Structure 1
Amino acid sequence: MSFKDATPNKDVKSTVWIDDINLKTYGTASGLLGTDQFGRDIFSQLVYGSRVSLFVGLLSAVLSVVIGLAIGLLAGYIGGLSDEILMRSTDALLVLPGLPLLLVLIAVLGSSIFNLILLIGVLGWMGFARVVRSQVLSLKERPFIESAKAVGAGKFYIILHHILPNVVSLVYITLASAVPGAILSEAALSWLGLYDPSVMSWGRMLHDVQQQPRGFEMLWWMLPPGLCIAAVSVSFILLGYALDEILNPRLRVRR
């Protein structure tokens, strides 16, 4: 910065040349939702983080539903020793604490986005498998299953063409209900610092807030990701209730 004075006998005038300006603003002074302590736009993080959180939630839910469906169908229809082995394995996994187990496995395998999807999906199928198994045990005693056996249909043909169509409504309902749990699991892991450093998610935004001194007083930074997680979770839960009322004839309301 340099100054150049005018004629000294008159009012002083100065000409200022500024070579470089590096202003750092944060809070609500700039951007639609303001910026964080590092000058990053919060709205941009929120939009980009929605992709990651929904991506993790949807794929993890699909993976857990597929695994639970396969194990429930096999255990329920084949029965015998296969049923015993599959259900005892399911019971063993059910009693394990979910979040501490996730923390240990993420620490061992790494916190990449695909490891998160894999682990959340693999550790979330047990309850659905038991529901499918109980439904299959009821279905396989029906007359149309006995008729299919009488004409020589094989086990896997009966499972795919007769039993699966009768439990597919459970798939839709469970899929909608499993997404909030997966999103919350990803957010919890990211909040604890176990996130993929190459991507931004709602959980990582909350982690960045808590790393700041008195961060939880920065409401413009803390509330948007928290409200988005809550809103998306409630939306999928309500979607699951709606699908249950539509697809479950016992709950269907005739108007």
Structure 2
Amino acid sequence: MAGSAKIRLYVEHPLGEGQSVPLSRDQAHYLFGVMRLATGDAVALFNGRDGEWAAQVVDAGKKGGTLECSASVRPQGAPPDVWLLFAPIKKARTDFIVEKAVEMGVARICPVQTEFTNSERVRRDRLQAHATEAAEQCGATWVPEVSEIDRLDRVLASWQPGRNLMFCDEGLAGSGAALSGAGGAWAVLIGPEGGFSDSERSRLNGLDFAHAVSLGPRILRADTAAVAALTLWQTTLGDW
């Protein structure tokens, strides 16, 4: 039998000692066609519910295969209760935001349409796949849900009671407006490349649950702002 697993794979199947896990055609192609695994090789599995499990290849085929769980490696974990709301930008940079949000630890990823959002149509399934790949790479035992894109005004109108919103306002660059407050349920909102409109900024500043913050003395690009904002939240109120 091969040694410890170098590949982590997200599956939807239940995991447990002796549990057989069937592979989809795409998963089999990745493990056996791309990564060249063979019978007896080790794979680490997680499904977002049962923690991480050590498993071995028991059947390796071109169109499918089977893994078998042998031992629990880590208990199920969970990220802090923070969502990332962001206005989609160019494809590669949107992918970057999703991947880094997973690595940095968020519970949900929510694309929002603002007045100045200027991007191509957002495919939720593609972004969800990027989130899954990021979780596999970074050691998370969960995959954050990527929601369908929705208009910012509608999101704010149906806001979840008790959840605070960290609103990153580029208009406050250099002002020193800092994050404050207690832990609990939060969301971080990043604006589009063109910034928030005056009406959006006015509405956000008028919400009891919204907290405007500065991300430093310089105006950041949207993808940089997402990383900076999550870093600020995690080091102040999160699990860092």
* TM bracket, shorter-chain basis: under 0.3
State the TM-score, normalizing by the size of structure 2. Answer: 0.23
Larger Rg: 1
Structure having greater relative contact order (Cα 8 Å, sep ≥ 6): 1
Greater helix fraction, Structure 1 or Structure 2: 1
State the TM-score, normalizing by the size of structure 1. Answer: 0.22
